[in-house]
Amino acid sequence: MSHLHNNTQINNSNNMGVRDSNAFVIREREFLFKMGDQLEGIYRVNCGSVKIFKTSEAGDDQIIRFCMPGDLIGLDGLADGVSRSTVETLETSNLSLIPFKTILNRDQKFDYANFIHQLGVNFNHDIEYSMMLSQCADRRLAWFLMSFSDALKKRGLKAGDFTLPMKRTDIALYLGMAVETLSRELAAFCKLGLVKKYLRNIELLDIEAIRKIANGDELVVEKEDSQSIAA
């Protein structure tokens, strides 16, 4: 069963400022739904952020996505109405329920163009993510920083200086590395003058160089080597 009705509906406005009877607020670190839950529909993030993860039979969690405003959640439930993942908020968030019947009955108020676009975005993310997990740790971190920055830029927000809503342990789980490895790689980025960090605040000092690392560009390695020789 979906956990939607366990959350207080504080207001019902979506991120476009339009009155939405299916909008609700869910508190930080609360579950929207869990693996195996029967869903009533998909969800749109209006504001805030959530993480999506799966739990193995051994009890190990694997975060597979972080969602921001405009993203759709629960698309895996379109197959048979059952969720294959768990969704937990990273901060107090405003979401909207889009019932399956709204999609299947082709409701005129439903934005099908955006729905198809989001399906494509999810598909592309899954491909990039699966490929990136096999790459070296510095490339995975660079890809994460660029993905988060690009998502902010797409939404008209500041892309070079931001506060991460997720914990470092969440990022490590998402990127498939130990927290110690993530901390070491982030420290290396700071030493190279690529980023500046304070707690969860990240300032990207050289976006072009970070993007090159994410793309596997060897020129960045040469930059690191030259700095090591100079030291």
Give alpha helix (H) positions in 81-178: 100-104, 112-132, 137-154, 168-175
> How much is the pLDDT for 9?
40
Note the pLDDT tens digit of each residue in 96-126. Answer: 999 999 998 888 888 889 889 989 999 999 9
Q: Is 64 helix (H, G, I), strand (E, B) or coil?
A: strand
CATH T-level topology, domain 136-230: Arc Repressor Mutant, subunit A (1.10.10)
Q: What gap in Å lies between CA 121 and CA 91, rounded to an integer? A: 23
| 93-99 and 23-26 beta bridge pairing | antiparallel
> How much is the pLDDT for 10?
40
Q: Which CATH superfamily is domain 4-130 in?
A: Jelly Rolls (2.60.120.10)
DSSP bridge pairs for 195: 204
The dihedral sign for the CA sequence 133, 48, 148, 75: positive
* Residues whose CB falls within 8 Å of the CB of residue 186, separated by 6 or more in sequence, listed in order: 141, 195, 197
- Domain assignments of the chain as residue spans, ordered by start: 4-130, 136-230
Residue labelled with tokens 């969704």 = 87
Tokens for 211, please give them: 């993007």
Q: Does 17 have pLDDT greater than 60?
A: no
Note the pLDDT tens digit of each residue in 158-194. Answer: 999 999 999 999 999 999 999 999 999 999 999 999 9
The dihedral sign for the CA sequence 39, 55, 25, 164: negative
> How much is the pLDDT for 202?
97
Q: What gap in Å lies between CA 123 and CA 39, rounded to an integer? A: 21
